[in-house]
Amino acid sequence: MRRILVRLPNWLGDAMMARPLLASVRASFRDASITAVGPRTLLELLATDASWDEAMPWPLPAGGMGRLRSPRAFAALVLPPSFSSAWFAFRTGAALRAGFAHEGRSWLLTHAERRRARGDLHLSREYLALGRAVGAAEGAPPGPLAPTPAGRDEARALLGADTRPVAVLGPGATYGPAKRWSAERFAEVGRRFAARGWRVLACGAAAEAGACEEVARECGGESFAGRTSLEGLAAICAGAAAAVCNDSGLAHLAAAAGAPTVAVFGSTSSAWTAPLGARAAVAQRPPVCSPCFARTCRIGYRCLVAVSPDEVLAAVDRVAAPGGRVA
Ligand code: SF4
């Protein structure tokens, strides 16, 4: 049986944008054995897509490289742009090695794909180009990411007996302030959701507790920062009435899980990294300086200030269906 290795992205948002590639590789090589290599949390989160036969955590466990080298893969897809990930693929001995030409690593790859300027092509399509390099044909986009059983259990325990529709707010973004819409505006959106009778949850990592607690306090919601695993968060999002997030991993997760999702973009390019999903939308009012991809801004964050709570709520209503929570 032919073997294919896929080195997944390390970041949550990138991993969600890799789902079309993973689905196309699975559909194109039904007879192959696919091994995914990536952070354990992402492997567990994406397990319900059934896009691979075997998962290997990264960093590799003892003996991991030996297991990846035998049997030798006919193709390795390298999604991270780092030198180390190309070196990893080279060491596996895979006959075909496809990845982005980057960081002086092209000599390690048999198919080094030149990237266009950021935003010329959505990142998911850049990933699909890597699949084409080894013979994978683009197929139908994947459906919503199904919650894992563990995620469902966690979400049920966290949400308890409260049956109100849930709204997820994601006011964090580790990238920097140029990706963060203000807490006041998130709180305004939260108050408007609460006025609809919705339960407002400000979600994020433990490091985002400050922003989540401020938003929750100002809109009468709850902070779930640091209280959820990715699987639990995905299950909450899968049943949410709406999600409003910065351009962050949470926005991608919510959109992939099927929540009506609006992502607020600041300094970055929505043409490159808009969340994927049938019910996902972007709120962005780019000034002439956009996208600058800066983490901080010297001219007053005009890109973020220009996005109003009213237009975010209008976008929510365009993509949202009524009510809902974890099944
Ligand atoms: S320079 Fe422009 S695009 Fe960049 S963060 Fe500032 S206002 Fe936004």
- Burial class (CB within 10 angstroms; exposed 0-12, middle 13-18, buried 19+) of 324: middle
Task: Note whether 202 and 169 are within 8 A (CB).
Answer: yes
All residue ranges of the chain with pLDDT < 70 are 321-327
Which ligand 1 atom is at minimum distance from the Cα of 292? 4
Cα separation, 260 vs 162, in Å, equals: 20
Our CA angle for 285, 245, 205, nearest 5°, is: 140
Task: Note whether 114 and 173 are within 8 A (CB).
Answer: no
Q: Token pair of 232, please?
A: 């639990």
Ligand 1 contact, 292 CB (< 6 A): yes
Cα separation, 269 vs 29, in Å, equals: 33
Which ligand 1 atom is at minimum distance from the Cα of 289? 2
Helix (H) and strand (E) counts in the chain: 14, 12
Enter the pTM of the model.
0.96
Ligand 1 contact, 316 CB (< 6 A): no
Gap from CA of 213 to ligand 1 centroid (Å): 26
Structure confidence at residue 320 (pLDDT): 85
5 Cβ contact list (under 8 Å, min separation 6)? 34, 35, 37, 68, 73, 75, 76, 77, 89, 92, 94
Ligand 1 contact, 268 CB (< 6 A): no
Ligand 1 contact, 307 CB (< 6 A): no
Task: Note whether 246 and 170 are within 8 A (CB).
Answer: yes
Structure confidence at residue 323 (pLDDT): 46
Q: Express each pLDDT in 208-235 by its tens digit.
A: 999 999 999 999 999 999 999 999 999 9
Gap from CA of 266 to ligand 1 centroid (Å): 7
Structure confidence at residue 324 (pLDDT): 38
Ligand 1 contact, 270 CB (< 6 A): no
CA atoms within 13 A on the CB side of 218: 19
Rg (CA), the chain: 20
Task: Note whether 261 and 238 are within 8 A (CB).
Answer: no
Structure confidence at residue 103 (pLDDT): 72
Which ligand 1 atom is at minimum distance from the Cα of 266? 8
